[in-house]
Amino acid sequence: MKDNIKCTIIQDILPLYADDVVSGDTKELVQQHLKQCEKCRAEFDSMTKAIYLPKETSKTMFKGLQKKWRKKKLIISLLSIFGAFIILSGLFYGLFIHQIAIEVTEISLEIEEYDNNQLVSFYTGRDAVVSVKATHPLEVNVNGVNEQVIFIYYAESLGYKYINRNQQLYKAPFQLTESEKADAVYYAEFDINQISSGEDTWEEVAKRGKLIWERRHEKE
Ligand SMILES: [Zn+2]
């Protein structure tokens, strides 16, 4: 009972004690009590903690954090815009600029020979976005015989293939360069860079390719 009264009295004095504005006797009394009473000690601890946390500091600290976070948020959103741009331009390139060779089985191709021995390739298929890659006649050893071979393939982008998939087919002519000299035309995908670097040869391209036209020789 006595202790209880004391606790309430002590807690009334505690703010003054914490500010160190009590007389020596009171100070001693409070100190004695705090040594024995856990409850008042906890009260005193929480008070001193509250007092010693400078309000201004915590405010500016918070402001600093906010600033940092805002900066971080800005960087994050800039990065996501940049990332989205990279992804979209990559997607655009992949869909509309990068072209993939069309398989010979997917294509309707006719090589026609004209009076001056010139060859014209007629592609029947989707849209003008399809591009044609063709070589001039190259001397290639095919099955032990040296022949003047033209390589040709058509390519299209995936995006346009999808967009134009219901489009009416049309027939596009393409005149083959120096084709009066050609003995044969092969449909085959080739990469000039790989051939000039030695990774691939025209002989290999001919083996992979499909013979789509051959000149009838006079001997027959
Ligand atoms: Zn107490």
Distance (angstroms) between ligand 1 centre and the Cα of 44 equals: 10
The residues that bridge with 206 in the sheet, in sequence order, are none
> Residue 136's pLDDT band (boundaries 50, 70, 90)?
very high
**Percent of the chain whose predicted confidence (pLDDT) is above 70:** 85
pLDDT score, position 71: 81
Q: Which of 31-40, 43-52, 72-81 has the least mean pLDDT?
A: 43-52
Report strand pairing: 184-187 vs 145-156: parallel
What's the rounded mean pLDDT across residues 181-192?
Answer: 94
Average pLDDT, the chain: 84
DSSP state for residue 217 in the 8-state scheme: P
Q: How far, in Å, from the CA of 42 to the mean position of ligand 1?
A: 10
Q: What is the mean pLDDT of residues 86-108?
A: 86
CA of 40 to the centre of ligand 1 (A): 4
Ligand 1 geometric centre to CA of 7 (Å): 4
Residue 20 alpha carbon to ligand 1 centre in Å: 18
pTM: 0.60
What's the confidence (pLDDT) of residue 58?
59
Q: Whose CA is closest to 188, among 109, 129, 122, 124?
A: 109
Phi and psi torsions of 175, nearest 5°: -80, 130
* Widest distance between CA atoms in the chain: 134
- Mean pLDDT value of segment 46-72: 69
Compute, in angstroms, the gap from residue 159 CA to the centroid of ligand 1: 81
Task: Please tell me the least confidently modeled range out of 20-29, 59-68, 154-163.
Answer: 59-68
Q: Assess whether pLDDT exceeds 50 at residue 199.
A: yes
How far is residue 125 CA from its own chain's centroid? 32
Cα(151) to centroid(ligand 1), Å = 101
Q: How many Å lie between the centroid of ligand 1 and the Cα of residue 114?
A: 116
| CB-based contact 209:187 (threshold 8 Å) | yes
So what's the pLDDT on residue 1? Answer: 42
The confidence score (pLDDT) of residue 131 equals: 83
Task: Report which of 171, 195, 175 is spatially closest to residue 185, judged by C-alpha positions.
Answer: 175
56 has a pLDDT exceeding 60: no
Answer whether residue 185 shows pLDDT above 90: yes
C-alpha 94 to ligand 1 mean position (Å): 77
**Ligand 1 centroid distance, CA of 52 (Å):** 22
At 173 the pLDDT is 84
Task: Report the separation in Å between the CA atom of 59 and the middle of ligand 1, taken as the mean of its atom positions.
Answer: 34
Q: What is the pLDDT, as a whole number, of residue 210?
A: 94
* 31 CA distance to ligand 1 middle (Å): 11
Calculate mean pLDDT across residues 74-86. Answer: 89
Reported as a pLDDT band with limits 50, 70 and 90, residue 220 is very low
